[in-house]
Structure 1
Amino acid sequence: MFMSPFKGHSGLKRIFNAAGYSFDGLRAAFTGEAAFRQLVLLNVILIPVSFLLPVSRVERAVMILACLVALIVELLNSAIEATVDRISLERHPLSKNAKDMGSAAQFVALGLIGAVWAVILL
C-alpha cells in the first residue's frame, strides 16, 4: 500500500506537528486573506454581544456556533482558492467553478449567521 511521505509520525509528535500545521494555517489565513480577517472581526464583535443578550445558553451556543462555522467555511474557501491558483493561474471554467462554489459556501455561511441571529432575536 502506498503511504504519503508526509505521514509517518504517531503519538504525541504527530499531535504536536498537527497543532503546528493548524496554527500555520490560521496565521496564513489571517495575514493573507482579508475576508478571514473581516470574519474574525465580526466574531470578535458578535460573540461577546451574544453574552449580553437575554437568550438561553442553548440559543447563545447556536449563535456562537453559526459564527464559528463561517470561519471554518472561509478557511476551506481560502484553501480551495490557494489550491486552484497553485495548479494554474490560467483562466479555466473548472477553476472558476471551484472558486465560485467556495464563495457560494461562504455566502450561505454568512446567511446562516443572519438567519440564526434573526430567528433567536426576533
Structure 2
Amino acid sequence: MRNRPSPASRASNGALRAVDADGDTTSIEPFDDVSEPGTHNHADHARGLNGTHGVQRSGGANSSGHESGRSNASNGDTQHEPLSPDDPLAPLPFNPYKGNRGLTRAWHAMKNSLAGFRVAIREESAFRQELTLAAILIPCGVLVPVEPVSRVLLLGSVLLVLIVELLNSSVEAAIDRISLERHELSRRAKDLGSAAVMVALGMCLMTWVLIVGPLVVHWVKAWL
C-alpha cells in the first residue's frame, strides 16, 4: 500500500510557492510568516507567553480556558466579598442587650430611664437647676387660665428644655468616655450641645412671655 506524503513533508522537501494575482509565483520558505494581516499569530502569542510566564502549556484552548476560569473565579470572589463594618448595608453586630421583647423590654427600658434620671440629678448641676425651674413652671402652666393649646405649649416648652439638657449630657459623657484630653472636635461638640440648650431655654422664655405675659399685666392692672 502506497503512503501519500503529508503536507508537512511536502513543505519540508522544497519551498512553498504562492501564486499572486498576476500569475507570478513567489517562493516562500517553509517557516516564513504566511498569516494574513489582522489575524492572530499563535507562534508570536506562544513566544510572548514563554517570555512572560516562563512556562508554556501546549494548546491555546487550554491556556484560554485556564485564563477564563481564573477570571470567573475572581469575579465570583468579588461578588461574594463580605461587607466591611463601615458599609451601611452590613448587618449590625449581635447585641445581647437587645434580645428582650414585649413587656420584658419595656420593663428594662423603664429601669434604664430611671437610672438615667438618677445619674442626671446626681451628676449634672445644670439639669438640677432646670428641674427646679420645671417644678415651678409646670404647676403654673396647669393652673393658669388659658386655652388647651396654649397650655400644651407652656408645658411642652418646659419639657423641651429638660429633653435637650439630657441629650447634651449624654453627648458630653460619650466624649469624655472616648478621651479626656483637650481637642478641638470635642470642644466643638460640647459647645453645640450647649447652644441647643440655650435655644430651648429661649423658646421656653418666649412661649411663657407671649402667653402668660398679657395675663400677668391684666392681673397687675386689676390689683392696682
TM-score bracket relative to the smaller structure: over 0.9
The aligned runs of 1:65-84 (5 Å cut-off) are 65-84=156-175
Counterparts of 1:3 and 1:119 in 2: how far apart (Å)?
A: 50
Name the SS for the 2:155 alignment partner: helix
Question: Scaled by the length of structure 2, what TM-score is found?
Answer: 0.53
The aligned runs of 1:50-89 (5 Å cut-off) are 50-89=141-180
Name the SS for the 1:65 alignment partner: helix
Match of 1:8 in 2: 99
2:197 equivalent among 96, 100, 106? 106
Give the partner amino acid of 2:127.
F
Q: Does 1:49 align with 2:161?
A: no
Identify the structure with the greater helix proportion: 1
Counterparts of 1:66 and 1:115 in 2: how far apart (Å)?
A: 9
2:116 equivalent among 19, 25, 31? 25
Counterparts of 1:60 and 1:111 in 2: how far apart (Å)?
A: 18
Give the partner amino acid of 1:106.
V
Deviations 1:17-43 (A, max 9, x none): 011000000110011101111111001
Give the partner amino acid of 1:51.
V
Give the partner amino acid of 2:138.
I
Counterparts of 2:105 and 2:140 in 1: how far apart (Å)?
A: 37
Higher alpha-carbon Rg: 2
Counterparts of 1:50 and 1:16 in 2: how far apart (Å)?
A: 31
Counterparts of 1:23 and 1:50 in 2: how far apart (Å)?
A: 25
Counterparts of 1:37 and 1:100 in 2: how far apart (Å)?
A: 20
Counterparts of 1:23 and 1:51 in 2: how far apart (Å)?
A: 24
Match of 2:126 in 1: 35
Deviations 1:8-65 (A, max 9, x none): 1111111100110000001100111011111110011011112332311211111000
Name the SS for the 1:90 alignment partner: coil
Count of aligned pairs between the two proteins: 122
Deviations 1:76-109 (A, max 9, x none): 0000011111110000000001100000000000
Question: Scaled by the length of structure 1, what TM-score is found?
Answer: 0.95
Unmatched 5+ residue regions in structure 2?
Answer: 1-90, 215-224
Same amino acid, percent of matched pairs: 49
Counterparts of 2:116 and 2:203 in 1: how far apart (Å)?
A: 24
